[in-house]
């Protein structure tokens, strides 16, 4: 589904990503880990077409995203870092807008489905501005799902959610993974074995580890936190 | 693209800001016409006085409308959502411009009571007034195109507002005798002519007669195309 080949990105003198390669298939949930400033968000921005890589290429469905930007973007559902949203809109109005821009068929049914899946029913007509952090994040996830994308890229999807909501979102991600390729970036390492079947650690823009969460644990035999600290130190 | 334009318009009208802007625009243009333009004492049933104040109102009104257009998207981070939609970049850029233009046209149309007033008081040439209204609408597009561009440069609305005012002001008065006298002292005549040919007021004066000059129309259309293109380049370069 997604093939990332040797991508690099520089901001002035700062090398944000260096020759990063990986692959995500339908059925995969890849945990994208790394300390702050490691290049996770930049990588996600390159994959979604928001930023252009200086070198390398990104293929979605074996099509280069630079050559087929509209097609690639139509296949991606994206929750950017910090969950930016149009605060004056209500969730229902916002999802309706996303559906019309993305020309989603059966938009009403799709909107009802994501509203139900993310438990937004009680707040669907309230301005997003007045919602709690957890609800905002769920609206952000809803907008990334409403067009039923094949590739889902979620930048810290469970940040700010209470334990019950986290559980629900993880459950939803697991359910979605049957038909989609999913990348989630997270700081919560315990989340990785719970929802991911692959994980990738990057630091200073470079890949430090790629494998399954079990491999990661086995390699050190200690807790994931310790392993993580060891890899990036 | 229609969906993008609709969303932009909803963003305008979902809060009271749009209505406040429109009310201020109408009040300012009317009060200038009635108090400073001697609308009644001139004894002529036309809207030339009213239209002659419009460019000056636009210098402040339009940057106030355009300042948040891109700046707000950048500040909130929603630009990332917008730019990752499966829509061509030029459509995204143009939809912001068109939506803002439609909003300003809405405000311009709401000045119709003054048109009713002259028709009630006298017998104006309504075709000329229609031409003047169309001219003002075209000129508004030019102010908007540059305002939207300056909004794309920064995530700070105040900076975008001030830059737009300054540049709008320069383009408005570049044909003014005061400005021409000033630059003719420093620059050669050819350059003075070039600068004055960019003046909104020079082209607007031909519109004020109610008859479009082809040159004036082409000027405003090229002006809009240029600034929209600059906005597009700005985002293409960001990649």
Judge whether A61 and A181 are in contact, CB under 8 Å.
no
Output B231 or A187, whichever has higher pLDDT.
B231
Output B132 or B231, whichever has higher pLDDT.
B231
- Please report residues of B whose CB lies closer than 8 A to that of A49: 83-84
CATH 3.40.50.300 fits A2-232, yes or no: yes
Token pair in block for residue A115: 């509203």
What does the pLDDT look like over B148-184, one tens digit per residue?
A: 999 999 989 999 999 999 999 988 887 777 777 777 7
B76·A84 Cβ contact <8 A = yes
Instruction: Give percent above pLDDT 70 in chain B.
Output: 93
pLDDT higher than threshold 70 for residue A31: yes
B85·A101 Cβ contact <8 A = yes
Query: In the prediction, which pLDDT does B200 show?
Result: 78
Q: Is some CB atom of chain B closer than 8 A to the CB atom of A37?
A: no
Q: Please name the residues between 73 and 112 in chain B that touch chain A, using a CB distance below 8 Å.
A: 76-81, 83-88
Element of type H or E holding B155: none
What does the pLDDT look like over B34-55, one tens digit per residue?
A: 777 676 666 666 778 888 888 8
Q: Is some CB atom of chain B closer than 8 A to the CB atom of A97?
A: yes
Question: Domain residue spans in chain B?
Answer: 2-238
* Pairing state between β A76-79 and A151-155: parallel
CB crowding A52-82: b at 16 or more within 10 Å, else e = ebeebebbbeeeebeebbeebbbbbbbbbeb
Question: Domain residue spans in chain A?
Answer: 2-232
A82 φψ region: left (φ > 0), alpha (ψ -120 to 50), beta (else): left
Of B4, B14, B77, the CB nearest to A101: B4
Name which of A158, A162, A215, A161 is nearest A191 in CA terms.
Answer: A158
A73·B86 Cβ contact <8 A = yes
* Nearest Cα residue in chain B from A72: B86
**B124-127 CB contacts, 8 Å cutoff, 24+ apart:** B124/B45, B124/B46, B124/B47, B125/B46, B125/B210, B127/B210
A63 φψ region: left (φ > 0), alpha (ψ -120 to 50), beta (else): beta
Query: In the prediction, which pLDDT does B174 show?
Result: 78
Of B14, B76, B80, the CB nearest to A50: B80
Nearest-neighbour CA in chain B from A85: distance (Å): 6
Q: For chain B, give the longest Cα–Cα distance.
A: 58
Query: In the prediction, which pLDDT does A36 show?
Result: 82
Nearest-neighbour CA in chain B from A74: distance (Å): 5
Backbone angles phi, psi at A55, to 5 degrees: -150, 165
Output B99 or B119, whichever has higher pLDDT.
B99
pLDDT higher than threshold 80 for residue B68: yes
What does the pLDDT look like over A87-138, one tens digit per residue?
A: 989 999 999 999 999 999 889 999 999 999 888 999 999 999 999 888 898 8
Across the A/B interface, how many CB contacts are shorter than 8 Å? 66
Pairwise CA distance, residues B202 & B195, whole Å: 11
Helices (H) then strands (E): counts for chain B:
13, 0
Return the sign of the alpha-carbon dihedral for residues B130, B131, B134, B140: negative
What was the ipTM of the complex prediction? 0.86
B84·A84 Cβ contact <8 A = no
What residue ranges in chain A does DSSP mark as E strands? Answer: 2-11, 14-24, 29-33, 55-60, 63-64, 76-79, 151-155, 181-185, 198-203, 206-211
pTM (two decimals): 0.86
Nearest-neighbour CA in chain B from A86: distance (Å): 7
Query: In the prediction, which pLDDT does B147 show?
Result: 95
Q: Please name the residues between 158 and 217 in chain A that touch chain B, using a CB distance below 8 Å.
A: none
Of A72, A78, A100, the CB nearest to B3: A100
């Amino acid at each position: 589904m997604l093939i990332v080949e040797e991508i690099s990105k520089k901001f002035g003198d700062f090398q944000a990503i260096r020759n990063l390669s990986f692959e995500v298939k339908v059925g995969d949930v890849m945990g994208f880990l790394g300390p702050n400033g490691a290049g996770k968000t930049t990588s996600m921005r390159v994959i979604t077409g928001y930023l252009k890589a200086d070198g390398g290429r990104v293929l979605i469905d074996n099509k280069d995203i630079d050559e087929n930007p509209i097609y690639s973007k139509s296949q991606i559902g994206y929750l950017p870092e910090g969950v930016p949203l149009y605060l004056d809109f209500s969730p229902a109005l916002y999802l309706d807008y996303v559906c019309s821009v993305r020309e989603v068929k059966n938009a009403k049914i799709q909107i009802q489905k994501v509203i139900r899946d993310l438990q937004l029913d009680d707040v669907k007509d309230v301005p997003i501005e007045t919602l709690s952090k957890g609800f905002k994040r769920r609206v952000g996830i809803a907008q990334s799902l409403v067009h039923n994308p094949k590739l889902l890229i979620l930048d810290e999807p469970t940040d700010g959610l209470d334990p019950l909501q986290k559980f629900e979102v993880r459950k939803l991600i697991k359910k979605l993974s049957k038909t989609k390729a999913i990348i989630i970036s997270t700081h919560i390492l315990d989340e990785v074995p719970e929802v991911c079947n692959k994980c990738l650690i990057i630091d200073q823009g470079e890949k430090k580890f790629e494998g399954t969460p079990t491999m990661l644990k086995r390699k050190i035999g200690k807790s994931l936190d310790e392993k993580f600290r060891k890899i990036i130190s | 693209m229609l969906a993008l334009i609709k969303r932009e318009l909803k963003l305008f009208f979902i809060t009271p800001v749009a209505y406040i802007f429109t009310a201020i625009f109408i009040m300012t243009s009317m009060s200038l016409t009635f108090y400073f333009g001697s609308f009644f004492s001139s004894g002529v049933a036309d809207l030339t006085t009213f239209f002659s104040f419009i460019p000056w109102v636009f210098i402040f009104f339009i940057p106030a409308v355009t300042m948040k257009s891109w700046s707000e998207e950048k500040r909130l981070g929603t630009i990332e959502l917008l730019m990752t939609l499966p829509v061509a970049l030029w459509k995204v850029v143009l939809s912001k411009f068109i939506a803002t233009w439609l909003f300003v046209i809405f405000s311009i149309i709401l000045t119709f009571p003054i048109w009713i007033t002259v028709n009630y008081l006298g017998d104006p040439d309504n075709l000329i007034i229609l031409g003047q209204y169309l001219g003002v609408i075209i000129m508004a597009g030019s102010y908007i195109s540059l305002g939207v561009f300056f909004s794309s440069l920064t995530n700070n609305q105040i900076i975008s507002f001030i830059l737009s005012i300054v540049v709008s002001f320069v383009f408005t008065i570049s044909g003014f005798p005061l400005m021409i006298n000033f630059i003719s002292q420093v620059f050669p005549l050819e350059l003075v002519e070039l600068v004055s040919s960019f003046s909104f007021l020079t082209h607007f004066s031909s519109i004020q007669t109610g008859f479009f000059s082809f040159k004036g129309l082409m000027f405003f259309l090229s002006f809009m195309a240029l600034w929209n293109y600059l906005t597009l380049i700005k985002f293409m370069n960001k990649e």
